[in-house]
Amino acid sequence: MANTTTISHPAIGNVTASTAKDGVVQVLGVQYATLKDRFSPPVLKEYSSSQNVDGTKLGPQVLSIAPNADPEFGLIQQSLDYDRSAFTQSDTEGLCLNVTIPAGSNGSVDENANLPVFVFIHGGGLNVGSGMYPQYDMARFVQLSLQEGKPCVAVSLNYRLGAPGFLTSSDMRAAGYKPNNGLRDQRTALLWLHKHLPGFGGDVSNITLMGQSAGGLSVNYHLFSKEPLFKRTIAVGGTMLLMPPIPAAEADENFASTIKSLGLAGDTAVKHLLEMDGQELTGKMMQAGAKCVPVLDDDICPTEFNFASIENDKTPIPGHEWCEAALLGDCQFDGNIQFLRLVHRKKGIASAFCSSLTSSLSSHPGLSDRLLSAYDLHPDLDDDEAFIKVLEVANDLNFYVPTLSLSQNLAKHMKTYMYRFNEPNPWEGQWKGHASHILDLAFLLQNFNEYLGEEQKGTAVRFAKDVVAFLHRESPWEGSGKAKVLGPQGKMEVVEDVPGQVGRRSIMLDLGKDVGLDVLDDAFNGFMHAPPAV
């Protein structure tokens, strides 16, 4: 059984924490917000300073189609040991977080330490995931910060996913249910941390907000806040250009088609969605193909944007004024994650993709031929080979080019650093030998070090040291047009952030100079969002 210690928090009360990991104390499963029901706005959790809080157990997941961490381990292609029975789901009790804190020599927490704070938002396409997963355990990362003499406090959190997180309509809004609950939850967690971090030794004026994949695009969205929420931002494997907000009218159409497929009457649909069993809700939403994505509003997602507006600095981003530094990065083959959306379309994908692109780009003579030729795609290509090539297109348009565009935008307003992760996946599976999606995060948080060779373990440790330096307001490497390339085989160097130097293709950049990246992005999205063949 883990050893425990008691933290006398001035606002929360006596918090029982775990000291199971050397050098750190962990407060687990602390609720940061309450919910009236699954669609209601989050309300900041209030505590009595005289109460006792158990911080020794993981909190429940929010509603999700994934019951535990195993599906994500399948993507990483390496598992960690953990207690699956500890993972439960809750409609209204899942808005919780974990706080990992350096321990003093006597195992206690110094509430006056005033340490930099690292807050992590998990990915999962805004539909799956949990900050409680073992791969997001921050103990080793905080231990490494201690070894470096640069200690930090680290936080991971849950937020609502799928329909409870992002389904909206005019009827729901009329009933008092705001859009973008998932992003609203994240913001509420940050507000909770601003209020309570000092009692855990954290410096609320020195918060770095990091997200991976859907967490990365979430971090970008929080730059639209007029209220300063953090001082530094890290977005890896995903930017807001991957998932721009849809208009309210499109959200209404999505809601109408969803309830129609569920056989619900429009005037009672909201009531049925509230009363439906949670697992039934998540399953039926997936079957109905409901879009659970950010929606334009006057608060969380206040403005439309695209490649052109970001590149030309025409998108108003309040965070330009209050965020002091940004770090962005991608994996060499982040695009492999799109196989989840395309695997059911693999048969005949070459012909379907070529036909779709040719149609979408018909107003630009010769453009589809140039694009398809550059990726060596043609209608008669073998399914397996074509599938990988389509994922390469996805990689460049969904991940590589967006990180470049956004980093150039942010660099006009703050210190900005870029990394390019090129270490190949060492574990058996479909993506062995590729720098696949999520791999950079697996290296960064140190939880897979025992499963890495010495060279790759060295990459993991040095990468984490760089991020720790960033938390401490140091320059982890040279910025201004440079990128740090991580891998392969333990190699690390800072080079010009241009395709040939960082191991990326220049195809989309070259074509985008002629027609604009939005034309290419729209054409690719037309294929990605095409209805399934009958």
| Count of helix runs (H) and strand runs (E) in the chain | 21, 15
- The Cα 454–Cα 69 span in angstroms is 26
Q: Which two tokens stand for residue 313?
A: 């600095």
Question: Which segments of 375-491 are extended strands (E)?
Answer: 415-421, 482-486
* Interacting residues of 255 by C-beta distance below 8 A, sequence separation 6+: 167, 168, 169, 171, 172, 269
pLDDT digit string (tens) for the chain, length 534 residues? 468 999 999 999 999 999 867 889 999 999 999 999 999 999 999 888 778 999 999 999 999 999 999 999 999 999 999 999 989 999 999 999 999 999 876 667 888 899 999 999 999 999 999 999 999 999 999 999 999 999 999 999 999 999 999 999 999 999 999 999 999 999 999 999 999 999 999 999 999 999 999 999 999 999 999 999 999 999 999 999 999 999 999 999 999 999 998 888 877 899 999 999 998 999 999 888 899 999 999 999 999 999 999 999 999 999 999 999 999 999 999 999 999 999 999 999 999 999 999 999 999 999 999 999 999 999 999 999 999 999 999 999 999 999 999 999 999 999 999 999 999 999 999 999 999 999 999 999 999 999 999 999 999 999 999 999 999 999 999 888 999 999 999 999 999 999 999 999 999 999 999 999 999 999 999 999 886 554
pLDDT at residue number 413: 98
- The Cα 273–Cα 91 span in angstroms is 12
- The Cα 373–Cα 203 span in angstroms is 53
Q: Which two tokens stand for residue 350?
A: 């070459």
Residue 159: CB atoms within 10 Å: 30
pLDDT at residue number 50: 76
- Could you tell me which of 419, 398, 394 has the C-alpha nearest to residue 329? 419
* Interacting residues of 336 by C-beta distance below 8 A, sequence separation 6+: 391, 395, 431, 434, 436, 437
| CA angle 159–526–333, rounded 5-degree value | 60
CB 140 within 8 A of CB 446: yes
Residue 233, burial from CB neighbour count under 10 angstroms (0-12, 13-18, 19+): buried
Residue type, 273: L
- The Cα 216–Cα 329 span in angstroms is 10
The CATH class of 4-246+293-342+405-506 is alpha beta
* DSSP-assigned beta bridge partners for residue 434: none
Residues of the chain with CATH 3.40.50.1820: 4-246+293-342+405-506
- Helices 139-147 and 454-471: crossing angle in degrees, nearest 10, is 80
Residue 318: CB atoms within 10 Å: 14
- The Cα 266–Cα 281 span in angstroms is 17
- Could you tell me which of 456, 477, 471 has the C-alpha nearest to residue 234? 471
pLDDT at residue number 534: 46
- Helices 517-528 and 349-360: crossing angle in degrees, nearest 10, is 140
Rg (CA), the chain: 23
- Could you tell me which of 256, 279, 278, 283 has the C-alpha nearest to residue 38? 278
b/e code 372-396 from CB counts within 10 Å (16+ = b): beebebeeebeeeebbebbbbbbbb
Q: Which two tokens stand for residue 157?
A: 């959190």
pLDDT at residue number 1: 45
